[in-house]
């Protein structure tokens, strides 16, 4: 049997490898128009940022080695021009020789991947404008940056590639602007979860411009629709990608409304003996079996196994995609799986949502960073429909657990009861997965009533009373207009002051105290009692722009760091608030600053994601001076001069 595979990326190379493992005697030809196969395209931004320093590591396996190991014919720099399904033959162009020739096949596999979107912008064809879709383009970017000593860059598009590229350019020392036409980056996220990302990106010095479009690219700047000029010697296009279906269209293969090649469960196209996989196809989503185009390496590898089996007469099937994805942006990790709230609304699917915010591991163990989980689930059965997770540590394993729950049609009740590994460096006795499940379970089983971040202001205008159950110090730091403060400890003694004929909404920093308050009042005969889901941390992050947006600072040398540390030890009071959640760092500063002489300085290190905002507000309210604010390795370090 003669099997021809078009495309040597994640899908095509995997098909070739598995076919050979299953059949030692099949004739296999792998064709790719680039000079390499099996490229580590997901690592391209990290090589640009010099995190992956060795360029050779960007090629998983050399074409010659792959061909020799598997006893197959690998044709690089060879482009397929046409497919004739009736004749079962291809027309190919060998770029090395300029020669065209025909290649016959018994079975054909299409794994052409996707191609980047080029916007209709004046100057998009300038030599300073690049995409990052393959290693050749990556090499050109590296050569350009080194030759022109670029100091300013613009990344157009806030998707996965755009975020990773902006991160790596900024870390490399190139001042970077990230421009996104929509109101948020990372489209699979819902807006309030994306707001954590916006805050974090700005805190690392990236000039993040949302709701902005580039209208022209000049030699040293880009022009925005607003008329603003953004300096840029280098421009990276990261607007997105479309399925590569040119060959499929030429062959008369059926394509779908989303632009991908149509395949059945065995990944067979509308033509006999032609299979397709990867970025170019339309799959079914896991829950409601709707069509989806998912451009991720994980699904492509799994589809490759199905195709290989079926090429050799087997009967395997690819069930569905969940679009489980994850991205690292500076110190923050953001991950999603399944449906977003936006998608559920667009499809008129009934759902319920919950938020939980807890430490990724035991709070008493060092470097305990918070992790926020948004859970979407069926209000009837509790079946998990989707999730979004944001945090510094432990995001990857939480999204993977939820993805597995979804894969097996699990519910929030299952999440609440799951037995997961616990030791202080890794988790808590109640893992964040358990907590997220318990919060959702309480909403379904105990009629736990909540309001959400985008409903608070409406309810206050409608006559509801917002009661903040934080401590007076926390309340003074950042109150919601129209709210009153009754600390949870004094709630029972204050019941006579809380009217029963008015809607009551409790709020606190993360949602835990407000849940306790809801429990108390609901058992004292109050009917219209609610808790703010996700707490004020989510509310303020989603509704307010961050106050602290420091410019990128040059990384100090090791010697400068030692000298700085010695100077700080000698002249400043140092406060270690790493691991404390809001309002812990502020409370610690408030206590310690009393002992500091007027005019002297204190240096504070904190890991709470909202600390940069909190300390700006606190200094403004107290009259102390915030001199510097710098975030590195998930820790925000500030220097404050005592002035009041």
pLDDT band at 611 (very low <50, low <70, confident <90, very high): confident
pLDDT at 248 over 60: yes
Cα 414 to Cα 405: distance, rounded to the nearest angstrom = 8
Rg (CA), the chain: 28
400-408 average pLDDT score: 96
506-526 average pLDDT score: 95
Share of the chain above pLDDT 90, in %: 75
Class of domain 558-641: alpha beta
Cα 170 to Cα 50: distance, rounded to the nearest angstrom = 11
pLDDT of residue 549: 46
pLDDT of residue 297: 87
Please tell me whether residue 360 adopts helix, strand or coil conformation: coil
pLDDT at 554 over 50: no
229-241 average pLDDT score: 95
Could you tell me where in the chain the CATH 3.30.110.40 domains are found?
A: 558-641
The most confident of 335-339, 560-564, 612-616, by mean pLDDT: 335-339
Could you tell me where in the chain the CATH 3.50.50.60 domains are found?
A: 2-115+242-311, 129-239, 331-445
614-641 average pLDDT score: 87
Q: How big is the chain, counted in residues?
A: 644
Share of the chain above pLDDT 70, in %: 96
- Helices first, then strands: H and E counts in the chain: 19, 35
* 19 neighbors 28 (Cβ within 8 angstroms): yes
pLDDT tens digits, one per residue of 184-229: 999 999 999 999 999 999 988 999 999 999 999 999 999 999 999 9
Cα 509 to Cα 67: distance, rounded to the nearest angstrom = 59
Give domain 129-239's CATH number out of 3.40.50.2000, 3.10.20.440, 3.50.50.60, 3.40.50.720: 3.50.50.60
Could you tell me where in the chain the CATH 3.40.250.10 domains are found?
A: 450-543
Check whether the bond before 288 is cis (ω within 30° of 0).
Answer: no
Residue with the bigger pLDDT between 362 and 630: it is 362
Copy the structure tokens of residue 459: 């309810």
Copy the structure tokens of residue 480: 């919601």
pLDDT tens digits, one per residue of 57-70: 888 888 899 999 99
359-387 average pLDDT score: 94
Cα 23 to Cα 308: distance, rounded to the nearest angstrom = 10
pLDDT of residue 524: 94
Q: What average pLDDT does the structure give for the chain?
A: 91
In sequence order, the 6+-apart residues with CB closer than 8 A to the CB of 101 are 91, 92, 94
* 112 neighbors 280 (Cβ within 8 angstroms): yes
pLDDT of residue 547: 47
- Please, how many CA atoms are within 13 Å of residue 240, restricted to the half-sphere of its CB? 12
Rounded to 5 degrees, what are φ and ψ at 563? -65, -40
End-to-end C-alpha distance for the chain, whole angstroms: 84
Rounded to two decimals, the pTM is 0.89
Sign of the dihedral defined by the CA atoms of residues 186, 188, 191, 197, in that order: negative
Q: Is 320 exposed, middle or buried (0-12, 13-18, 19+ CB in 10 A)?
A: middle
pLDDT tens digits, one per residue of 448-496: 999 999 999 999 999 999 999 999 988 988 899 999 999 999 999 999 9
Please give the CATH architecture assigned to the domain spanning 2-115+242-311: 3-Layer(bba) Sandwich (3.50)
pLDDT band at 594 (very low <50, low <70, confident <90, very high): confident
pLDDT of residue 644: 78
pLDDT band at 550 (very low <50, low <70, confident <90, very high): very low
pLDDT at 16 over 90: yes
Please tell me whether residue 505 adopts helix, strand or coil conformation: strand
Cα 270 to Cα 551: distance, rounded to the nearest angstrom = 54
Copy the structure tokens of residue 66: 């792959």
pLDDT band at 552 (very low <50, low <70, confident <90, very high): very low
Give domain 450-543's CATH number out of 3.40.50.360, 3.40.250.10, 3.30.450.40, 3.90.1520.10: 3.40.250.10
373-389 average pLDDT score: 97
User: Among candidates 163, 246, 175, 162, which has minimal Cα distance to 206?
Assistant: 175
Cα 117 off chain centre by: 20
pLDDT of residue 91: 95
pLDDT of residue 74: 95
Cα 523 to Cα 587: distance, rounded to the nearest angstrom = 32
pLDDT at 555 over 80: no
pLDDT of residue 122: 94
pLDDT at 331 over 60: yes
The region that residue 69 occupies, defined by phi over 0 for left and psi between -120 and 50 for alpha, beta otherwise, is alpha
Cα 46 to Cα 75: distance, rounded to the nearest angstrom = 28
Q: Which of 296-300, 377-381, 383-387, 454-458 has the lowest mean pLDDT?
A: 296-300
Question: Kind of pairing, strands 370-377 and 352-359?
Answer: antiparallel
pLDDT of residue 569: 54
Give domain 331-445's CATH number out of 3.30.830.10, 3.40.50.150, 3.50.50.60, 3.40.80.10: 3.50.50.60
Cα 585 to Cα 242: distance, rounded to the nearest angstrom = 46
What is the secondary structure of 138-160 as a DSSP string? HHHHHHHHHHHT--EEEEE--SH
pLDDT of residue 553: 45
- Please, how many CA atoms are within 13 Å of residue 432, restricted to the half-sphere of its CB? 34
User: Among candidates 172, 116, 133, 167, which has minimal Cα distance to 40?
Assistant: 133
Please tell me whether residue 385 adopts helix, strand or coil conformation: strand
pLDDT of residue 566: 55
């Amino acid at each position: 049997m003669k099997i021809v595979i078009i495309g040597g990326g994640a899908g095509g190379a995997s098909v070739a490898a598995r076919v050979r493992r299953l059949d030692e005697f099949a004739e296999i030809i792998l064709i790719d128009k680039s000079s390499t196969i099996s490229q580590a395209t997901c690592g391209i931004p990290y090589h640009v940022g010099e995190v992956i320093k060795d360029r050779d590591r960007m090629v998983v396996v050399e074409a010659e080695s792959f061909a020799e190991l598997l006893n197959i014919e690998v044709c690089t720099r060879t482009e397929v021009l046409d497919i004739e399904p009736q004749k079962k033959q291809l027309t190919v162009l060998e770029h090395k020789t300029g020669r065209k020739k025909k290649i016959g096949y018994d079975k054909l596999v299409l794994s052409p991947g996707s191609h980047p979107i080029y916007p209709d912008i004046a100057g998009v064809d300038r030599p300073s404008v690049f995409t990052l879709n393959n290693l050749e383009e990556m090499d050109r970017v590296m050569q350009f940056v080194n030759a022109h000593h670029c100091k300013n860059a613009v990344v157009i598009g806030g998707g996965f590639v755009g975020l990773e590229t902006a991160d790596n350019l900024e870390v490399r020392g190139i001042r970077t602007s990230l421009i996104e036409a929509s109101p948020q980056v990372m489209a699979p996220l819902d807006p309030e979860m994306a707001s954590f990302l916006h805050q974090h990106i700005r805190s690392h010095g990236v000039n993040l411009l949302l709701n902005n479009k580039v209208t022209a690219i000049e030699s040293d700047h880009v022009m925005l629709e607003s008329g603003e000029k953004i300096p840029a010697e280098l421009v990276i296009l990261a607007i997105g990608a479309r399925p590569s279906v040119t060959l499929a269209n030429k062959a008369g293969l059926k394509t779908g409304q989303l632009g991908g090649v149509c395949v059945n469960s065995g990944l067979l196209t509308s033509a006999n003996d032609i299979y397709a996989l990867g970025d170019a196809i339309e799959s079914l989503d896991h829950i409601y079996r709707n069509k989806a185009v998912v451009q991720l390496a994980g699904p492509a590898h799994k589809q490759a196994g199905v195709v290989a089996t079926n090429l050799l007469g087997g009967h395997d099937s690819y069930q569905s995609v969940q679009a489980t994805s994850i991205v690292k942006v500076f110190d923050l990790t953001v991950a999603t799986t399944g449906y977003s709230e936006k998608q559920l609304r667009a499809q008129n699917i009934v759902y319920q949502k919950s938020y939980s915010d807890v430490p990724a591991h035991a709070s008493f163990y060092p470097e305990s960073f918070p992790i926020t989980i948004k859970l979407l689930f069926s209000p009837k059965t509790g079946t998990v429909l989707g999730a979004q997770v944001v945090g510094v540590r432990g995001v990857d394993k939480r999204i993977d657990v939820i993805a597995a729950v979804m894969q097996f049609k699990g519910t929030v009740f299952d999440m609440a009861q799951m037995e997961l590994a616990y030791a202080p460096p890794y988790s808590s006795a109640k893992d964040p997965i358990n907590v997220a499940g318990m919060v959702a379970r309480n909403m379904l089983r105990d009629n736990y009533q909540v309001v959400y971040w985008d409903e608070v202001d409406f309810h206050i205008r409608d006559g509801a009373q917002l009661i903040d159950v934080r401590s007076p110090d926390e309340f003074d730091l950042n109150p919601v207009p129209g709210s009153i403060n009754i600390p949870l400890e004094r709630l029972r003694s204050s019941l006579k002051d809380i009217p029963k004929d008015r809607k009551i909404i409790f709020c606190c920093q993360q949602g835990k105290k407000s849940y306790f308050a809801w429990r108390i009042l609901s058992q004292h005969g109050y009917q219209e009692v609610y808790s703010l889901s996700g707490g004020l941390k989510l509310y303020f992050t989603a509704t307010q722009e961050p106050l602290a947006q420091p410019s990128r600072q040059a990384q100090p040398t090791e010697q400068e760091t030692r000298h700085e540390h010695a100077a700080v030890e000698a002249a400043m009071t140092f406060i270690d608030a790493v691991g404390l959640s809001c309002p812990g760092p502020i409370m610690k500063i408030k206590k310690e600053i009393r002992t500091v002489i007027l005019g002297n300085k204190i240096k504070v290190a904190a890991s709470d994601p909202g600390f940069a905002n909190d300390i700006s507000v606190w200094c403004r309210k107290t009259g102390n001076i915030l001199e510097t604010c710098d975030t590195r390795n998930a820790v925000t370090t500030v220097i404050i001069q005592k002035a009041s």
